[in-house]
Amino acid sequence: MNRWHKSSYSQNGGQCVEVSEGAVTAVRDTQHRDRGTLEFAAAEWGRFIQGIKADEL
**How confident is the model over 1-56, as pLDDT tens digits?**
578 888 776 776 667 889 998 899 999 998 888 999 999 999 999 999 899 889 86
Domain membership of residue 41 as a residue range:
5-56
Domain count, the chain: 1
The answer to whether 25 and 42 are in contact (CB under 8 A) is yes
Q: What is the pLDDT of residue 57?
A: 46
Distance CA(4)–CA(21), nearest Å, equals 8
Query: With a threshold of 0.75, does the pTM exceed it?
Result: no
